Amino acid sequence: MGKRRKERALGRLPGRVLLYALLVGYAGAVILPMGWLFYTSLKSNEEIFRSPWALPERPHWENFTYAWGRAHIGDYFANSLAITLVSVALILLVSAMAAYVLARFPFRGNRIIFYAFLAGLMVPMQLALVPLFFLVNSMRLLDTYTGVILVYIAYSLPFTIFVLAGFFRTLPHELAEAALIDGCTPSQAFWRVMLPIAKPGLVTAAIFNFLGIWNEYLFALVLISTESLRTLPLGLANLLMVTHYESNWGGLFAGLVIVMLPTLLAYALLQGQLTKGITAGALKG
Amino acid sequence: MPDHLGAWMDARFLTHSARKPTGAVQHYRRRCLLAACLLAILLAGCTSPETGRRASGREIEVQIFMGGYGLDFFEKLARTYEQAHPGVKVTLSGDPRIIDKIRPRLLAGNPPDVFWAFLPMWRLANGGALYELSADLATPAYGQQITWRQSFLDGPLSTAMIGDKIYFVPTDLSVMLMWYNVKMFRQHGWRVPRTLDEMLDLCERIKAAGIAPIAFQGRYPDYATPLLLSLFQRKAGGRPLYDVINMKKGAWMHPDLVWAAGVLQEMVNKGYFQPGCMGMTHTEAQMEFVNGRAAMVPCGTWLKAEQAGTTPKGFEMSCFNYPAVTGGKGDPSVACISMGYWCVPAQAVNRKGGVDFLKWVTSRANANEFAREKYTLFSIKDADKDLCRELAPAVATMKQARYTWAAMMSNWYPELSRRLNDSLSSLMAGNMTPEEFCRRMEAQAERTRRDRSVPKYTLPLPAGVEP
Amino acid sequence: MRHGERRMVVLFLLPACLLYGVLFIYPVLSSLVFSLYEWDGFSQQRRYIGLGNFTRLLADPMFWTGLQHNLFLLAVPTVIVLVAALFFAAVLTGRLRGARFFRVVYFFPNIMSMVAITLLWFFIYNPNFGLLDGLLGAVTGSKVSTVWLDPNHIMGSLVAPIVWCSLGFYLVLFLAGMESIPTTYYDAARVDGANAWQQFRSITVPLMWDIITMAVVFLVIGGLRIFDLIFVMALGYPNEQSQVISTYLYEQAFNNANMGYGLAIAVVLFVLVFAATAIAMRLMRREQMEY
């Protein structure tokens, strides 16, 4: 069954060669800059400018110690990790609860609330940026983990509720009914039965939220000004500007590599899940 | 997370097999838990301010821009201040984007005690955010008999005046000049040009030698403004220049300004500016210069300091003031300058301390040491002893200048500055004629003049300005 | 509703609605209000000017330039990404050797931070030691001088990073869609004598129309909202040739102390996003195909 269909796109030999050429070409366009980035991070400043695309004469590991330590990428890494993990955890909690009742319980105002959340998907962040800044400031939460986390949660609600509501809506009623008959309260039915079944949706939401928050720049730029609280994207951008003054280009490249490595690792481990999640989203959405 | 919470809930209610009418109690308990969690989160986020120490004068908080001068020198100043004032602590912090840190604090009403940042100083002053310094300026300067006000150089200080009030003081001083590769000039027998014709001729000869005559920081076209306006001043005299700065109607349409824009464009067309320069940042263009791929580069006196990390050993640089224009009405000794400004916010908790630290930074001894260590000049009189060799022409220029001016309109009117940048970019990329350039700038100036929401300022004409 | 359910509904909705209402709805509504004022964002002084900011916006050449750039970045990368993603997806559903490898590789840029991507491309385009100039130099045998980020070419140069970092996501999306199409259709078509292209055009594309629509909407919205790439590439100060609406908003609100005006721009941006979504969905509307 599969073979026939799968061969339909492959033409005769010259077509196939051209095809492979294109595929490999684009793959190269992805891999080559990364590779160049990696080996340039091991060169000295002077080497970088003298022979930009040659391999390093000897690896300058001190670029990495510079980036991690003096340029504080290590600190920013810790900040990003803490903020992202806490945010994602809380987002899932809050969104799952809301999405569940919105998806399965008809009540007056259900539609309005649901569409209010959805409308948030279309609002550009910049619209809320300025008053949000003043609001967070008046709450004395500017420049704090708490403030950033709460904001990230609030702004991830539209997307996450959208995804999770979709999942919860497809779950069969019989399961919940059975749980209730067994003596669960409605909320117990949620925690013990429905939520575990929605795990694929939760994982998808978790991954997308993790990526979104890990890489988020604009809100972090406005809400965080203390150097020690910076997240990774902020730290990187800052390093770029500092490098224009301090001119440690090797260090900048090393910083970039440090930022990319964990993402690369996570991706290698989770890419199956990721594609499964997008697939599921595509089919259900 | 939800799984654990669910398990916890399960454990609590395991004993119940039927739905209990105690739902209300469970509900209440869960609500309390949630509220407690929220409260804990909120409390954890609150930071306690150290304004208490500042209020009593025992601590001064300083925030500055961290750029070419780094932070170390200012930290040294902080320590020497502490030594000279026992019992007082100076907390200093710096960042390339310090502006992002200071802005929220200004809004929140708890700014640092003294700061240096590229905020719109004039807007801040107008909005009452800055502390007026006239009274303090009348007090004696550190280590000198004269008043603090008298210790400043006239040119720089006049740029900070708003009417007869002054809300910020000029500190590090840069002269805008043309830098050149000394060894390269010596090797080829080239000489520093004294007139525009000599300079154009020189560029031609450099080009013939296969070297780019002038590197240029094309992504920041404002680097060409001193050249443009200097040529204008040398041809037309001082008053038309000040008309442009002070936004007089029609000032941008002066025929000599059109001529100057034309000269600039001609230089681009003849290839005197390095090919590809329009896509280069300041670091990139200046790298071209120190790596010998271009013979000259227009820059402020900060060049040596800024490129210290990437200048190859043995590279010799020096500078010269923009050349004279033969037959022009303007004095060729006139120099274009640029300053940093430090200020004390009106709402600073320790204003007195802030002002005092500012006086410390601008004392002649400290100013001179700053200039010496950081390869720059300072806006204080006689703070130019024993500076590095490369800056000798700059020091001489300052001493010999009939008067000094700064392109203040770019500081006062951000939109005009934007427009100037964009227009210079188009002019030098060949997308605009000199007439169009001037017309565009005049149109923008008119828009700014008409805009009632933008307060207007004036740079007073110096005593020596040519008629 | 059953006993106990009402309480659950309220309790479960409370945290989300509270956070959303306070941190999202309230600021957005505030923006709408502040856009009617003239305010520098530093002081407490505010002046009500009604629609003054909006009329100013209409006459502001920089805004229209920015919009032009947004439209360019909305149209060009969208077309390229759609075509490329569809093409690669069609190719990679087959039993092509290394299909999985390519899928993994192509998606990788998507998970990088936009700042990191911008930095990477900054170096690719760098005039002193950039990769692109280096490659071109190696190929042509002479030193290539840069034009990539200069005023005349910067917009075009921005297309590549956008395509580079979006392609993977849409590739996976389309792959998912394509793989869910039953093979029976293709078998029937082959029996009828249709070739690969015809099969693609008459089976694959129509059945994937919903997904393609979704992709178009996302790409269009992305083109309007783009910020990080431009902002960081311009080192925080985009000039006329690289300005887009969101960076102009930031410049006005934060650099020029025209907060009210910046907010008016934000409101207009929202309206544009809304309109673009509606238009895109309308244009792409077709018969829903069931199978």
Verify that A55 and A131 share a domain, yes or no: no
> Which tokens sit at A116?
């209010």
Say whether both A47 and A175 belong to one domain: no
CATH for B326:
3.40.190.10
- Whole-number average pLDDT of chain A: 81
> Which of A1, A8, A214, A283 would you mutate first to test chain C, the one with the most C CBs within 10 A?
A8
Q: Does A180 share its domain with A274?
A: yes
Residue C7 lies in a domain: no
Taking only the tens place, the pLDDT of each residue in B324-355 is: 999 999 999 999 999 999 999 999 999 999 99
Is residue C35 in a domain? no
From the CA of B462, how many Å to the nearest CA of chain C? 29
Within a domain: residue B296? yes
Of C38, C152, C251, the CB nearest to B429: C152
Are B104 and A196 a contacting pair at CB < 8 A?
A: no
Domain assignment of residue C265, yes or no:
yes
Nearest CA in chain C to B428: C151
Residues A147, A255, single domain; the answer is yes
Share of chain C above pLDDT 90, in %: 18
* The pLDDT value given to residue C44: 67
- Domain limits at A151? 71-284
pTM above 0.80, yes or no: no
When divided into structural domains, chain C yields a total of 1
Residue at token pair 């297309």: C159
Confirm whether B458 is domain-assigned: no
Flag whether residue C45 sits within 8 Å of chain B, measured between CB atoms: yes
The structural domain count of chain B equals 2
Three-state DSSP state, B306? helix
Chains in contact with A, where contact means 3 or more Cβ–Cβ distances below 8 Å, are: B, C
Are the Cβ atoms of B6 and A195 closer than 8 angstroms?
A: yes
CATH number at residue C94: 1.10.3720.10
Q: Does C146 touch chain B (CB under 8 A)?
A: yes
Asked if the C-beta of C291 comes within 8 angstroms of chain B's C-beta atoms, the answer is no
In a domain, B24, yes or no: no
Q: Sorting pLDDT into bands at 50, 70 and 90, what band is A262?
A: confident
Residue with tokens 């043309």: B178
Q: Is residue C119 part of a domain?
A: yes
* C198 within a domain of the structure (yes/no): yes
* CATH classification of the domain holding A206: 1.10.3720.10
* Residue C238 resides in a domain: yes
Q: B350 and B367 in one domain?
A: yes
Spell out which residues of chain B touch residue A191, defining contact as CB-CB under 8 Å.
2, 5-6, 9-10
Residue of B406, B360, B458 whose CA lies nearest to B153:
B406
CB contact under 8 A, A53 and C135: yes
Cα(B207)–Cα(A229) distance, integer angstroms: 50
Separation in Å, CA of A121 to nearest CA in chain B: 25
Which tokens in the block code for residue C192? Answer: 């009828």
Strand-pairing partners, residue B378, are B172
* More confident site: B309 or B265: B265
The pLDDT assigned to B270 comes to 94
Q: Do the domain assignments include residue B27?
A: no
Query: Best residue in A1, A3, A5 to probe C by mutation, most C CBs within 10 Å?
Result: A5
Shared-domain flag, residues A124 and A221: yes
**Sign of the dihedral defined by the CA atoms of residues B293, B299, B303, B309, in that order:** negative
Give pLDDT, residue B240.
95
Q: Are residues A149 and A256 both part of a single domain?
A: yes
Asked whether the beta carbons of B157 and B170 are under 8 A apart, the reply is yes
Find the helix packing angle between A110-119 and C5-20, rounded to 10°.
30
Check whether C141 has a pLDDT greater than 70: no
Predicted confidence band of residue C291 (pLDDT cuts 50, 70, 90) = very low
Q: Which chains touch B (3 or more CB pairs under 8 A)?
A: A, C
Whether residues B383 and B440 fall in one domain: no
Out of A46, A63, A80, a domain closes at A63
> Which residues of B fall within a CB distance of 8 Å from A90?
1
Determine the residue of chain B that is closest to A224 in CA distance. Answer: B101
Token output for C72? 């360019």
Q: Are A216 and A196 within one domain?
A: yes
Residue of A272 and B325 predicted with greater confidence: B325
Nearest to B463 by CA among B406, B417, B423, B403: B403
Domain endpoint, select from A18, A38, A63: A63
Residues of chain C with Cβ-Cβ distance to A105 below 8 Å are 1, 5, 9
Average pLDDT estimate for C69-87: 92
Q: Is residue C148 part of a domain?
A: yes
**DSSP per-residue letters across B129-149:** -B---HHHHTSBPTTSSSBTT
**CA angle C28–C34–C39, rounded 5-degree value:** 140
Which domain range does residue B96 map to?
55-174+339-402
The mean pLDDT of A106-131, rounded to a whole number, is: 83
C-beta of residue B170 within 8 angstroms of C-beta of residue B158: no
Q: Do B31 and C256 touch (CB under 8 A)?
A: no
pLDDT at B437: 96
Q: What's the token pair of residue A89? A: 């955890």
Instruction: Specify whether A179 is located in the same domain as A249.
Output: yes
Q: Could you say which of C11, C38, C145 has the minimum Cβ distance to residue B453?
A: C38
Q: Do A157 and C24 touch (CB under 8 A)?
A: yes
Most confident of A9-23, A220-234, C259-273: C259-273
Q: How far is A115 from chain C (nearest CA, A)?
A: 12
Range of the domain at C133: 41-283
Check whether residue B354 and residue B327 sit in a common domain. no
Any domain includes B204: yes
A57 in the same domain as A105 = no
pLDDT in tens, B138-180: 999 988 889 999 999 999 999 999 989 999 999 999 999 999 9
**Whole-number Å distance between alpha carbons of B254 and B226:** 17
Q: Do A89 and A219 belong to one domain?
A: yes
For the beta carbon of residue B184, count every other beta carbon within 10 angstroms: 19
> Do the Cβ atoms of B281 and C236 come closer than 8 Å?
no
On chain C, the residues whose CB falls within 8 A of the CB of A155 are: 23-24
- Where among A15, A30, A63 does a domain terminate? A63
DSSP state of B323: P
Q: Do residues B308 and B418 share a domain?
A: yes
Q: Angle at which helices A73-104 and A232-246 pack, to 10 degrees? A: 150
Q: Do C28 and A154 touch (CB under 8 A)?
A: no
Given CB atoms, is C145 within the 8 Å cutoff of chain B? yes
pLDDT digits (tens, 9 = 90+) for B256-283: 999 999 999 999 999 999 988 888 888 8
ipTM of the complex: 0.80
Using the Cβ of B373 and the Cβ atoms of chain C, whether some distance falls under 8 Å is answered with no
Same domain, B323 and B436: yes
User: Quick one: B274 and B416 in the same domain?
Assistant: yes
Cross-chain residue pair B278–C152, CB shorter than 8 Å: yes
Residues B189, B59 share a domain: no
Residue C200 DSSP SS3: helix
In chain A, the number of structural domains is: 2
B203 with B301, same domain: the answer is yes
Question: Do residues A177 and A220 both lie within one domain?
Answer: yes
The answer on A75 and A57 residing in a single domain is no
Contact A158, A128 (CB under 8 A): no
CA B198, CA B325: separation in Å to the nearest integer?
A: 10
**Separation CA B346–CA B128 (nearest Å):** 7
Q: Which chain C residues touch A251 with a CB distance below 8 Å?
A: none
With contacts defined as CB-CB under 8 Å, which chain A residues touch B307? 247
Q: According to the model, what pLDDT value does residue A121 have? A: 81
User: Taking a C-beta distance cutoff of 8 angstroms, is the pair C258, C33 a contact?
Assistant: no
In a domain, C90, yes or no: yes
Are B72 and B94 within one domain?
yes
C127 to chain B: closest CA residue: B280
